[in-house]
Chain A
Amino acid sequence: MVRRVIDCVVHAEVASVDQLVPHLSPHWQAVVSETGFRGPYVATQPAGAPTVCAPRFARPDGVVEASEPGHITRVLDRWSADAGILCCEYAVDGIRNPDAAAALASAVNDWLVETWLPADERFRASLVLPIAQPEAAAAEIDRLAGHPRVVQALLPVRSAAPYGDRRYLPVFAAADRAGIAVGLRCGGNPGNPPTGTGWPSYFAEEHAGMPAVFQTQLLSLIAEGVFERFADLRLALLGSGFGWLPAFVWRLDKEWRGMRREIPWVRRAPSATIAEHVRIALQPIDVPAAELGAVLDELPADDLLMFCTDHPRWQFDADDDALPAAIPEPVRARIAGAVARDFYRLP
């Protein structure tokens, strides 16, 4: 069966700050050179963590997988994908100098636009933003808003304040003006502990704890009425998984019934808002195959999930597991491409 596939998360890795230098202004080129700046001090995951790059994708020649457009072209070919949405996790949010963060974010975006997009017409870009400075982040969205293949503003899921906080309104306003989606991705280095209960000993705790942060962000965006302010807002959760969503939605609807008065601008049940505005990348599939049917049944909408490989992250071992047969048709066919095509307004 020929499926129309959209890969809604493929990574574009900045292997070295040298790749960004050509896209920096002379001032920042000089700073990089004079200070010996090698890039953000923290990343979403420890570089050697097995979750970063599936063992079978690791290159023996030392080249970082997904650091060149050709690596992702091969992935899209393998899956017969019509489009691949590039997600770069370069951690500008971990750079405290606001001007440096903005300069590096612009450099990443120019690198994506000028070296990646021309290499493969199927690529679409997500913007990296200096999110610690919401006005600067909005300006960066405005700068590239006209580009037809920029489809998303990408925010790290861990932030200094939850994204519904009114300080971030300029970012959502800019995304709204630009007509692009807002995507949340794993990681983030705002300076707060990576969990609400402190600094965990193990990376495994951070990794296992990511869904909880997505939950926190969804709660905030709903509670603060961001979906009421921006009726066209499209929010993508990239890397959250979805097994937790049914219980979460039950809880939010229950809470809203009693606590509406505190947030009276929330005029409808959170489940309805999520069904309309939120889409979730398929990986990681944290749901055992035997449970997939039940979980899909309980999601607040049929068209919630969007296929992705999340290449080169370690999300599945065999290709057959990327879009499991346990997902019933016709939902499975829609997950393969139609949901992302609609969501990202692809041809």
Chain B
Amino acid sequence: MTVDAARDRSPAARSARAAIVDADIHNTWPEPAALDPYLPERWRRLRARLGERLHPGAQYPRLNPAAARTDAWPPEGGLPGSSLDLMRDQLLDRWSIERGILNPLLEAGELLNLEYGAAFAQAINDWQVAEWLEPEPRLRASITVPYEDAPLAVAEIERRAGDRRFVQVLLASRTLEPLGRRRYWPMYGAAEAAGLPIGIHFGGAGGFPTTAAGLPSFYFEEHAGMATVFQDQLTSLVFEGVFERFPGLRVVLIEGGFAWLLPLMWRLDRTWRMLRDELAHVTRPPSHTIRERVFLTTQPIEEPPQPELLARLLDRMDMDGQLLFATDYPHWDFDAPDRALPPVLGGARRDRLLRRNACALYRFG
């Protein structure tokens, strides 16, 4: 018998298992000053004085500090997700993560000062290269961009496009305008030209209430309502004809779950048929386009009352090639790779979700 300290040392269920691709990991800095070496002096001084100004969005006390698993705080200090060592220990090594995609939620795209936002984004991407991609070959990263200014965003995409460790362009799900709107098109063009998917991650703030019915009171509503944001953004992308205009573009919806998509496809197809005059530029039924171009991470995984219902849903969705497993480490709504996908899904389907789909989309050899 051993008596131990507070940290969990129970052996991981490390049975012989296939490697996994984790499509959503959140790296951050131990504390804000860690970004300073990457920021030009001008912005370092501004940041020290004024911090980061952005739309406040929805502010709630969240389930746990930093919205993280309470066991993910590095023992040496710093925020959850800031320690590469702990990320290796708790995630990459523990579950044989073959590739992990970093999606830093550091709000560069939300900064009201757009020039600062562009510098901030560039610094974040430089920091990612130096402190994450260089030391850890299993990691890949998303390009942080100042998405509310198309030319600045395009410049940052083009700056990184040659580094194949950057595998997608990262946007937040709440933006100043719906994401199908024309102001965002140059960014889609640049991503398409670079062969990079657009990743849209839950979060952000657009400067108006977070729902069409105003601001909810509770984090429960904000979190349980994540799907509504993705529904609206996907509707915008489809009905604005973004997929027609950019025939090579693929979009990844990150951290919204996926069960909502099947009924939305029904709704979009029906709406498109009824309102063809307004949508003359949308040349195919929305469900056809979505099944080709839209990918979704599985987290937070759906948990129906019986796991068989999840299998049945996937059968009806017919998007087995477009679902990407993700943990969302180190956040509290983390999905454990060995438990999140129920066994009833079967080995072949699980393998696609856990690894093969992401390898195909992100072109991991």
Residues of A within 8 A of B (CB): 49-51, 157-165, 188, 190, 192-205, 207-209, 211-213, 215-217, 219-220, 223-224, 241, 243-244, 246-248, 250-256, 258-259, 262-263, 284, 286-288, 291, 294, 298, 314
Contact = CB atoms under 8 A, between A and B. Distances in A.
Nearest to A217: B213
Interface in B157-173: 173
A231 to B, nearest CB: 21
B178 A205 contact: yes
B9 to A, nearest CB: 25
Given A162-B221, A262-B218, A200 B178 contact: yes
Contacts of B215: 161-162
A196 B210 contact: yes
A208 B235 contact: yes
A165 B179 CA distance: 29
A5 B211 CA distance: 36
B257 interface: yes
A72 to B, nearest CB: 23
A223 B221 contact: yes
14 contacts: A159-B214, A196-B211, A197-B177, A200-B236, A205-B236, A208-B264, A211-B267, A219-B221, A244-B267, A247-B302, A255-B224, A263-B220, A298-B309, A314-B274
B231 A209 contact: yes
B208 interface: yes
A219 B229 CA distance: 14
A53 B69 CA distance: 52
Contacts of A254: 300, 302-303
Contact of A198 (B176, B214, B218, B271): B176
B209 interface: yes
Interface of B: 61, 63, 173-181, 206, 208-221, 223-225, 227-229, 231-233, 235-236, 239-240, 257, 259-260, 262-264, 266-268, 270-272, 274-275, 277-279, 300, 302-305, 309, 312-313, 316, 332-333
Given A199-B177, A247-B302, 12 more contacts: A161-B215, A162-B211, A198-B208, A208-B268, A213-B213, A220-B213, A223-B218, A223-B220, A247-B259, A251-B257, A255-B220, A288-B266
- B175, B271, B305, B333 — most chain A CB neighbours (10 Å): B271
A204 B271 contact: yes
Given A244-B263, A251-B227, A208 B214 contact: no
A243 B219 contact: no
7 nearest A-B pairs in the assembled complex, by CB-CB distance: A247-B259, A243-B263, A161-B214, A212-B228, A255-B224, A196-B211, A244-B263
A205 B239 contact: yes
A181 B303 CA distance: 32
B217 A193 contact: no
B300 A197 contact: no
B208 A286 contact: no
A182 to B, nearest CB: 14
Contact of A212 (B223, B231, B303): B231
Contacts of B223: 255, 259
B335 to A, nearest CB: 12
A234 to B, nearest CB: 20
Nearest to A156: B213
A18 B240 CA distance: 39
A50 B213 CA distance: 25
A243 B266 CA distance: 8
Contact of B263 (A157, A204, A287): A287
B267 A195 contact: no
A160 B257 CA distance: 27
A204 B281 CA distance: 13
A197 B214 contact: no
Nearest to B173: A197
Contacts of B264: 208, 211, 244
B243 to A, nearest CB: 15
B209 A198 contact: no
Given A192-B209, A208-B271, A286-B266, A216 B216 contact: yes
Given A196-B228, A200-B178, A258 B63 contact: yes
- A49, A160, A200, A252 — most chain B CB neighbours (10 Å): A200
Contact of A193 (B208, B219, B262, B309): B208
A121 to B, nearest CB: 34
- A197, A244, A254 — most chain B CB neighbours (10 Å): A197
A174 to B, nearest CB: 20
A250 B260 CA distance: 10
A204 B211 contact: no
Contacts of A208: 235, 239, 264, 267-268, 271
